[in-house]
Structure 1
Amino acid sequence: MGRGLCLFLTVSLGLQLCWGCTTGVIGRLATTDGATYVFGTSDTENGDFRAAVVRGKKHKAGSTRRIYPLKQVYPHLVSEDRSFTWSKENLEDLPQKDLWNPTEPIFSIPQVNETYSLIETGAGYGLVNEFGVAMGESTCGARFVQKPIFDGGYAAFEIGELSQIALERTKTARDAIKLMGSLAEQHGYYGAFYNDPAQQHNEAGEALTVADGKEAWVFHITPDDTGKSAVWCAQRVPDDSFSIVANRFVIREVVENSDDFLYSSNIFEIARRHGLWRKEQKLDFVRVYGPLDDDLIKYSTDRVWRAAQLWNPSRGESRENRQNYPTNFHADRPISFEDVNALLRDHYEGSEIDLTKGIESGPFGDPDRYDKFPGDGLSAGDLREHSFLRAISMFRSIYYFIQRSDTSLPKEVNGRVLMGFHEPSESIAVPLYVCSKTLPKQVVSGSMFAYDDTSLYWAATLLGNWVHKAYVHIHPFVMPLINNFETNMYNEMDKVEEEAAVLIKAGKKDEAITLLEGKQLEWSIDTREFLRTTFYQIVSKFHDGLVYGNPAGESVTVHSVFYPREWLEAIGVFSSPFPVVENSKKRSLRER
C-alpha cells in the first residue's frame, strides 16, 4: 500500500515485508458504458481497513484546515471533527482504547468557504467525492527523499492528505491534480520510511490515478532536492486507453506546452541541476525521478503486463520488455465493469506465470505467495536474491474498490464507490454513496486487533482463508455462488439508482438519498451474511482433507482430495529413497 511498499525488518538483514498497492484508470471511450473507471487494491498486513464518509461543510471566514501526520495502522485517525469513523466512540472496545488519544495536527492551511463530501479510508486516501472525482493510489520508488516538519524536516504533506484536500475542494480531475501539485510545491512533500536508509527511496514517491467521468489522468509526485518542495507530473490518459500503476512510475516523456500534461515549475531545472537531463533531450520521468535502484521492477511490472495481455492483446507485450512499457495502453475492445472486477481478482490464470500452477502453489494450487521472512533455518542470504511473483489479488489486501464516474447521472448517484475487503478473489464489493449521512457499520468498524462479527473485512477474511486451504477444489465451488450473489445485487443496484435518479429529477432529492442510504445498509448486511454463510457451507463440505457431498441425502458421501501425482513427483515422493521428517530428523522411507 502506499506507505509500506517494502518494510525492511532490520537493516542488517535487509529482508522485506512487501506491501504494494495496484491502481488503474480507464478512459471513457474505452469502456462499455462510456464512464471513466478508477480502481485499485490496498495491500498491507496491518492497516486500518475502515471506510469513512466526510460531509461537506460551509466554513467561517478565517477557518483553517488541519493537516495530520502520516499514519495507516489502527487507528489511522482519532478526531471528532471529520467523520464518525474516526471518532473516539467508534474505537474498538479494547484495553488499550484509552491510549488512543486524539491525533495532533502537524500543520494547517487556510480553509475554503465550502468543502465537498467524500469517502476516504483508514489507509489515509480519499476515494471519491460528491462530484464523482475518484482517485486510486500506488507507492513508487523515487530519487529524492525529505523529512516531514514533525521530524526535523520541512515537508507538511504526504499523499493521503493531498488526496483528501483535493476531493474536498475540486469538481474535476484536472483541478484536483493542480491543487495537489500546488500545495506540495508550496509546503513540501514527504513519503513513508524517510528515516530508514534501506527503504526511504522505495517509499519516497507516489502515484495516483484520477478521473471524473470526462478525463482520466495519472499523477506522480516525489520530494524535491531541497527538502522544502516537491516535483510532480501528470499525464492525461487518452479516452480510448487505460493505464495501470503497480509501485513503479509509468510516465515517460514529459511533453511541454501540452493540454495532456501538467507538471511542477521545477521539474526541468532540478533534472538539469543534477545532470539528469539536458535541454535538447526529452525528459523521461521514470528515468530521471524514479528510484536509484530499480530492484523492484519485476515485483511491479508483471501486474502491468497482465492488464495489457488481457485488454490490449494486439500489442503483444512481453514481460521481457518491462523497462519500456508505455504510460497508456489502447483498449482493443470496450472494457466492462465485469472485466475490471475480474482483473482485481486475477492471479495470472492461464498465462505463462499462472500462480495456481507449479510446485510453489503447493498440492492444491494456492496462488498466494507469502512474504519472505527469516526463520526455520533460512538466512538473509538465502532470501535476498529470491522472490516469488505477486498478482493483483493477494492475501494481504485490506480493501479494494471500483469507482465508475458518469457525468450524465445526478451527483447523488454518480458519487458512489464499490468497496470490498480482504483478497478480491473471494470477496464482494458493496456500493457506498457519498451523499450518505453515515456508512454501514459493516464498513466503519473493526481492526486487526480482534475478530469482529459485524465487519465485512472479517467475514471476507474467514472465507478467503478457508478457500485457500484447498484452492483448486474450493475456489471453483465458491465462485458460482459469489457470481450469482454479485449479479443479483448489482442488478438491483442499477434499478435502485435509476429510481433515485427519477426522484431527483422530480425534485425529491431527500427521498432519493434516503433510498440509497437504506439500500447500501441492506446490501452491506446481506453481503456480510452471505460471506459468513458461505464460509459455514465450505467448512462443512471441505475439511480434514475430505470432500463431503449429498447433504440432503440419507447419508453423506465422502472422498479424499489427497495430493496430485504431479506434485508428489515434484517433491520426490517416487524417488528412492524419499526423505521424510520424523522428530526433526530426516529419515528415508526405506529406513522406516
Structure 2
Amino acid sequence: MFKEPLIVLLFLLLVTPAIGCTTFVVTPGASENGEMYVGHTNDGLGECVLGHNLSEDKTRVVYIPPSDHPYGSERPVLYDPNAGTDNPGGEEILGYIPELTHTYGYFTSAYGIMNEYQLMAGECTDHAKIAPDAEAGERMFYSSELSNVVLERSKTAREAVELAGNLIDTYGYYGNGETLIFADPEEAWVIEMCGGNLSDTESLWVAKKVPDGTVFVASNMFRIRDIEPGNPDILYSENLFEVAEKNGWWSAENKTLDWLSTVSNGEYSHPYYSLSRIWSVYNRISPSQNFSPYVEDSFSREYPFSVFPDHPLNDTEIFSLFRDHYEGTVFDLTTGIAAGPYGDPYRIRGKFDSHTDFEEGEIRPGAWPRPISAYYCAYSYVTESRRDLPYPVGGLCWFGFAQPSETCYTPLYSGTNTLPYSFENGNRSRFNRDSAWWSFNFVTNWARIQYSYIFPEIKEEQQKHENLFLSRQAVIEEEALEILNREGEDACREYLTSYTVDTAEDLVSSWWNLSDSLVVSYTNGGIFDPVSKSTTYPGYPDWWYQDAGYQYGPRIYDVEDLDSIPDLVYVNETVYTAPGSEYEYILKHQNAENCS
C-alpha cells in the first residue's frame, strides 16, 4: 500500500522524561456558563512527543490543519521515547494504520489538545503493574500518538473512547499506564489503559463517563474503580476479566473488579504524590464535604471519581484549579525553611521525588509535597467547548506556557488556521526572545529571587490580561458569527486566526516587558521604585534571621564564646553596655529570655 512521507508526522525526542501531569473535567452542570471544560498540565520540563519537524527539547504548541489523503494510503505510527519503556527494535516507525481520506485539524503538543469540532483531550501518566516495551507491528500505541489519531478522526467524546479502545485492541499498547480525557460540548469520558502482560500483546483499557454537574480530576494514578458489566456509562476491553484472572490479579469469586487495585499499585513516586493533588482540587471546589488531606493507603476511596462543586465555577475559578501550591493547607509550600525568606513555593527535586513507581511497603528517605503548579511544567491549558456555537467559533483553548501559577492564559480559537511563530518555535535548550515559553518561564524564575514581593506584581499583570480577554470574548464571537453567516467559514476562520495570533503576540510582548521591569526593580536584594527612582532594601523577615543563625554573626569580638550560647535568640534591637562586657551582657539577657 501507499505509504505517506514521514514529513506528515515527525516526533521530537525529549532528553528529560515527563515528570507527571494533572488533568480535569468541569462538566456543563458544574460550570457557571453551562459549558464543558478540560484542563491539562504537561509537567515534563519540555515537550514530550509530537512535533512536526521539531528538533530536540522543544516547548511549543502546534496546529495540524485538516488534510485530504489518497484512498488506500496509510498513516505511520511512531515510537514515543517518553513512554517509560524501551523500543527494542529501535525503529522510529512502529507500523501503519489505514489512513482516512479526510482528517480533522487540531492543536497538539506533547499530547493532542483540541480539534476543530470542539473535541477536547487531557492526559496524565499512571502507575501500572505491567509496562510492556514497544513492539513493531504488535504494540504500536502509546497515549500521545493515540490522542492525536483520535482527534484527527473523531467528533464526539463517545466516538473518541470507542476509537481509542479499538486501536488498543487492534494494534496493542506499550508503556506506562495512562489516563486520557475526551470531552465534547455534551459529554466527557475518561479512558485508562495499560499492558496486560509482557510476553504477549494483550492490552487492557476501561472508560467511564463523567456525570454531568460534577468535576473530575486525575493526577498520575488510575481513577476508575469498580467495573460494572452492563452499565452504559462504563466501557472496557473484552479481555479485561480474562487477563486479570489469568494474571492472578482478580478472581471471579470477588464478582466486582476494582480497576485501580487490579492493574496498579496506586500512586507514583511516593505517598500523596497523586492523592494530595486530587484532594486539593476537591477541597477547594467543594469545601462543604470536608475531604481529609490524609488517607489510609494508596487505594483509599476517600476521594470519589468526581464531585459536585459547592457552586458552579466561572472561568477564573477554573483557571485557578491549576494555580496551587497548597497555600493555607497542611502541605503549604510557601511556608517553612525550604520556602526561604520570601515564600518560594517551588522546590528543586530531591533524588526521591523522581517520577518512578512507588511500591507498597516501600519507605523512601523523604520527599517534597508534589504541587499542581510545578516549576518543571512545560505548559498548561483549559479548553472550553460551547454547545450553542458552531464549530469554527465554539472551541476555545486557553493556553499558558511554563508554570500555571504565574502564566497567563491566552485564547486560541479552534477555528484558527495557524498559531503565532513564538508558540510553535520554542526551544528550552537555548534562550530566545522569539519563544513564548521563555518569556513566561523567565518571569517565574526571576520571581523566585524575592517571591513574596514579585508574585503580586505578576498576579496583577495576569489578572489584567485575562480579565481583558474574558471581557471582550462576547464581542469577538459575535463578530465572528456575523462573518460566518455573511461571508462563510473561510472568512470566519481568517478573522479568528487574526485575533488569536495578535492577542497571543501582544501577550508575549507584554510578558517580556514585565520580565525586563522585574529585572530592574528586583536586583541585588533591593527593590527599585521607577516612579520615585529610589531603592529600598527590606532584608529578611525576623524568623529567617533567627533560623539562619544571623544572631551568631560577628556582632561582638568574642565570637567563639557567642557561638557556644545554646538557642541564642534574635531580638532585632541594638543595645549598649560597658566596653569589654558585651559577652556577659548577652549571656545574662539570653538566660533571662529563656527563663521568661
Fold conserved between structures, TM > 0.5: yes
Determine the structure 2 residue equivalent to 1:42. 42
Deviation (angstroms), 1:288: 0.3
Distance 2:163 2:540 in 1: 57
8 Å Cα contact 1:39/1:136 also seen in 2 = yes
8 Å Cα contact 1:369/1:390 also seen in 2 = no
Q: Which residue identity lines up with residue 465 of structure 2 in the other structure?
A: F
Determine the structure 2 residue equivalent to 1:329. 307
Deviation (angstroms), 1:242: 0.9
Pick one of 168, 175, 181 that aligns with 2:159: 175
Determine the structure 2 residue equivalent to 1:199. none
Residue pairs, 1:62-81, within 5 angstroms: 62-71=72-81
Distance 1:445 1:319 in 2: 40
Determine the structure 1 residue equivalent to 2:172. 188
8 Å Cα contact 1:41/1:400 also seen in 2 = yes
Determine the structure 1 residue equivalent to 2:571. none
Secondary structure of the residue aligned to 2:329 is coil
Secondary structure of the residue aligned to 2:450 is helix
Deviations 1:466-486 (A, max 9, x none): 112111111112211221122
Residue pairs, 1:221-370, within 5 angstroms: 221-225=193-197, 226-279=199-252, 280-291=254-265, 296-321=270-295, 323-324=300-301, 325-370=303-348
- CA gap 1:506/1:361 in 2 versus in 1, 3 angstroms: same
8 Å Cα contact 2:127/2:265 also seen in 1 = yes
Deviations 1:468-511 (A, max 9, x none): 21111111122112211221123223321221122223353222
Determine the structure 2 residue equivalent to 1:91. none
Determine the structure 2 residue equivalent to 1:542. 522
Pick one of 534, 541, 544 that aligns with 1:557: 534
Secondary structure of the residue aligned to 1:569 is helix
Distance 1:169 1:267 in 2: 26
Determine the structure 2 residue equivalent to 1:520. 500
Residue pairs, 1:366-445, within 5 angstroms: 366-373=344-351, 384-445=364-425
Residue pairs, 1:562-577, within 5 angstroms: 562-574=539-551
Q: Which residue identity lines up with residue 288 of structure 2 in the other structure?
A: S
Determine the structure 2 residue equivalent to 1:212. 184
- CA gap 1:588/1:486 in 2 versus in 1, 3 angstroms: farther
Determine the structure 2 residue equivalent to 1:148. 134
- CA gap 1:497/1:589 in 2 versus in 1, 3 angstroms: farther
Determine the structure 1 residue equivalent to 2:105. 117
Deviations 1:269-316 (A, max 9, x none): 111222322334211111001137865341111110000111111211
Deviation (angstroms), 1:250: 0.9
Distance 1:120 1:588 in 2: 64
Deviations 1:62-97 (A, max 9, x none): 111111110469xxxxxxxxxxxxxxxxxxxxxxxx
Secondary structure of the residue aligned to 1:303 is helix
Distance 1:71 1:333 in 2: 42
Distance 2:554 2:34 in 1: 60
Distance 1:500 1:588 in 2: 77
Distance 1:294 1:519 in 2: 41
Secondary structure of the residue aligned to 2:208 is strand
Distance 1:481 1:438 in 2: 26
Deviation (angstroms), 1:57: 2.1
Q: Which structure ranks higher in relative contact order (CA pairs < 8 Å, sequence separation ≥ 6)?
A: 1
Q: Which residue identity lines up with residue 67 of structure 1 in the other structure?
A: V
Determine the structure 1 residue equivalent to 2:69. 59
- CA gap 1:522/1:357 in 2 versus in 1, 3 angstroms: same
Determine the structure 2 residue equivalent to 1:508. 488
Deviation (angstroms), 1:418: 1.5
- CA gap 1:359/1:72 in 2 versus in 1, 3 angstroms: same
8 Å Cα contact 1:5/1:20 also seen in 2 = no
Pick one of 455, 462, 465 that aligns with 1:475: 455
Distance 1:112 1:589 in 2: 80
Determine the structure 1 residue equivalent to 2:577. none
Pick one of 136, 155, 164 that aligns with 2:148: 164
- CA gap 1:320/1:546 in 2 versus in 1, 3 angstroms: same
Distance 1:458 1:137 in 2: 24
- CA gap 1:46/1:127 in 2 versus in 1, 3 angstroms: closer
Task: Figure out how many residues of one structure are paired with residues of the other and give that number.
Answer: 518
Structure 2 segments unaligned to the other structure (5+ residues)? 1-11, 48-57, 84-90, 353-362, 565-582, 584-596
Residue pairs, 1:17-28, within 5 angstroms: 19-28=19-28
Secondary structure of the residue aligned to 1:169 is coil
CA radius of gyration, larger in:
2
Deviation (angstroms), 1:588: 9.0
Distance 1:139 1:449 in 2: 24
Secondary structure of the residue aligned to 2:321 is helix
Deviation (angstroms), 1:4: 12
Distance 1:160 1:423 in 2: 21
Distance 1:370 1:494 in 2: 42
Distance 2:508 2:476 in 1: 20
Distance 1:184 1:271 in 2: 17
Determine the structure 2 residue equivalent to 1:126. 112
Distance 1:111 1:567 in 2: 62
RMSD (Å) for aligned C-alpha atoms: 2.7
Distance 1:543 1:293 in 2: 41
- CA gap 1:504/1:308 in 2 versus in 1, 3 angstroms: same
- CA gap 1:588/1:435 in 2 versus in 1, 3 angstroms: farther
Q: Which residue identity lines up with residue 119 of structure 1 in the other structure?
A: F
Structure 1 segments unaligned to the other structure (5+ residues)? 8-16, 74-102, 192-203, 375-382, 581-585
Residue pairs, 1:4-23, within 5 angstroms: 19-23=19-23
8 Å Cα contact 1:248/1:297 also seen in 2 = no
Residue 135 (1) aligns with residue 107 (2): no
Q: Which runs of 4+ in 1 moved over 6 A?
A: 3-7, 586-589
8 Å Cα contact 1:545/1:560 also seen in 2 = yes
Distance 2:267 2:409 in 1: 36
Moved more, 278-287 or 235-244: 278-287
Identity of aligned residues (%): 30
Q: Which residue identity lines up with residue 232 of structure 1 in the other structure?
A: W
Deviation (angstroms), 1:32: 0.5
- CA gap 1:508/1:433 in 2 versus in 1, 3 angstroms: same
- CA gap 1:358/1:293 in 2 versus in 1, 3 angstroms: closer
8 Å Cα contact 2:14/2:82 also seen in 1 = no
